Amino acid sequence: MKLRALMLCFALTVTGAVLANEAAPLAADVVVEKRLIEISEELRCLVCQNETIAASQADLAQDLRREIRTLIGEGKSDKEILDFMVVRYGDFVLYRPPVKPTTWLLWGGPFLLLAAGVFALIRFLRRRAKEAAAPALSEEERRRAAALLDSSNS
Amino acid sequence: MRRFLIPLAVFIVLVIFLAIGLTLNPRDLPSPLKDKPAPAFTLPQLAAADQSFSPADMKGKVWLLNVWASWCVSCRQEHPVLMDLAKTGIVPIVGLDYKDQIADAKNWLRKYGDPYTVSAVDADGRVGIDYGVYGVPETYVIDKAGMIRLKHTGPITPDSLKTQILPLVAELSK
C-alpha cells in the first residue's frame, strides 16, 4: 500500500516535470515592461491604498498599468508619466510625496521625534549620573550599617 | 509629580491625534481637479449609441456628473437620492456609465429608474482616469464655465446633498 502511494507520488512528480514549461513572457517588449514596473512601483493604488500599482490586482491598477504602457509607447519620460498621475489623482498617488509646505511635517516629523527622544535621553542620563555620584556613606553611617548587619546575623 | 505629568501629557496628545484620525475618511482624498476645467471627452450615449455626449454640451449650465455602474453596489444606495434630486429639477445630472456592459446598464436604469438627463458610456474607463475616478460612485459639480467645483467620492447621502452639493449648486447658479 505504502509502496503504491510512493510510486504514485513518483509518477506524478515525473509527469509534472515533463509537462512543465517555461512561462512565456507576458509582454513582448521586455524594456517597456521593466520601465512599467519601475514607474508603477512609485505609484499608490487608490483602491487598495497600501499596495503599489505594480503589485495590485485591482481593476483600477490594471487600467493604470495599461495607461502607463500607452504613455511609454508615446515616448513620455518617467517624470511626465508621474505628473500625468498627479494631475488626476493628487500627490497621494505618489509613494514619495514631494517636499512642500503641506508635507513639511510629514517629512520632518520623524526627525523632530528623534530629536525629542535624544533630548529626553540626554536629560535622563545626566540626572542619573548626578544621582550615582551622590556622596558615599559617612564614617558614622558605615558603623551603624555594620552594627545592623551584625545584629541580624546573630 | 513632574515625572508623571510629562508622560501623561504625551499620552493625552497622542489620544487626541488618534481620535482625530478615527474621524477622518482615508478614501476621501482632496481632488487636484477642483477649480480646474472638467476634462473634455466625447463618448457615445447609453440610450442612443449613434449620438455622443461631451461636457461642452453643458456649457452655460451648472450640472452634476455622476459616475456610476450597474456592478457598483454603493450606486444602489445612492440611487434613490439621485431620483429624488432629478424630480426636483434643480440641477441636471449627467451619468458616466463607468466600465459597464451596455445591456446591464440599460437594465439597471429600467429596474431602478433613470435620474440622468443623459448617460455617457465610458466602456474602458479611459475617461474615468482623466477624472481621477478611483471609487464609484463619484460626483462632480461643474459650473457654467465648465470648471469642476466639487468632487464627491462615494455615495451621495441625503445629508451630503443638503449640506454640500445643493448649497454649492445654488451659489453657482446665481
Q: Is B32–A64 a contact, with Cβ atoms under 8 angstroms apart?
A: no
Q: What confidence score (pLDDT) does residue B80 get?
A: 94
Segment A90-113, tens digit of pLDDT: 888 898 888 888 888 989 999 999
Residue range A26-93 forms a domain whose CATH class is mainly alpha
Q: Is B29–A63 a contact, with Cβ atoms under 8 angstroms apart?
A: no
Q: What confidence score (pLDDT) does residue B54 get?
A: 93
What torsion, rounded to 10 degrees, do the Cα atoms A136, A142, A144, A145 define? 80
Cell numbers linked to B128: 474615468
Which of B5, B27, B122, B134 best tests the A interface by mutation, with the highest count of A CBs <10 A? B134
Segment A39-73, tens digit of pLDDT: 989 998 888 888 888 888 888 898 999 999 999 98
Look at residues B98, B2, B11 and name the one whose alpha carbon lies nearest to residue B46. B98
3-state secondary structure of B120: strand
* Percentage of chain A lying above the pLDDT 70 cut: 79
Whether A26 contacts A17, CB under 8 Å: no
Q: Which residue has the cell 476634462?
A: B39
Whether B93 contacts B166, CB under 8 Å: no
Segment B111-129, tens digit of pLDDT: 999 999 999 999 988 999 9
| H helices present in B24-89, as ranges | 73-88
Q: What is the mean pLDDT of residues B81-98?
A: 94
Contacts of residue B37, defined as CB under 8 A and 6 or more positions apart, other chains included, come to B145, B146, B147, B148
Q: pTM of the full predicted structure?
A: 0.74
* Distance, CA of A129 to CA of B30 (rounded, Å): 51
Instruction: Show residues of chain A in contact with B134, CB under 8 Å.
Output: 46-47, 60, 89
Whether residue A75 is predicted with pLDDT greater than 80 in this model: the reply is: yes
* Distance, CA of A151 to CA of A148 (rounded, Å): 5
Estimate to the nearest angstrom the gap between the alpha carbon of A3 and the chain centroid. 48
Q: What confidence score (pLDDT) does residue B66 get?
A: 96
Instruction: Show residues of chain A in contact with B124, CB under 8 Å.
Output: 63
Q: Is A46–B29 a contact, with Cβ atoms under 8 angstroms apart?
A: yes
Cell numbers linked to B46: 447609453
Question: In chain B, what are the domains?
Answer: 33-173 (3.40.30.10)
Whether B1 contacts B114, CB under 8 Å: no
* Distance, CA of A46 to CA of A54 (rounded, Å): 12
Contacts of residue B32, defined as CB under 8 A and 6 or more positions apart, other chains included, come to A86, A87, A88, A89, A90, A91, B132
**Residue of B29, B124, B129 with shortest CB distance to A92:** B29
**Domain boundaries defined on chain A:** 26-93, 99-132
Segment holding B66, helix H or strand E:
strand B63-68
A 20-49 residues with CB below 8 A of B?
46-47, 49
Whether residue B90 is predicted with pLDDT greater than 70 in this model: the reply is: yes
Estimate to the nearest angstrom the gap between the alpha carbon of A28 and the chain centroid. 32
Q: What confidence score (pLDDT) does residue A108 get?
A: 93
* Distance, CA of A106 to CA of A101 (rounded, Å): 10
Omega within 30 of 0 (cis) for the link into A98: no
Q: How many A/B residue pairs have CB atoms within 8 Å? A: 37
Which phi and psi angles does A54 have, rounded to 5°?
-70, -35
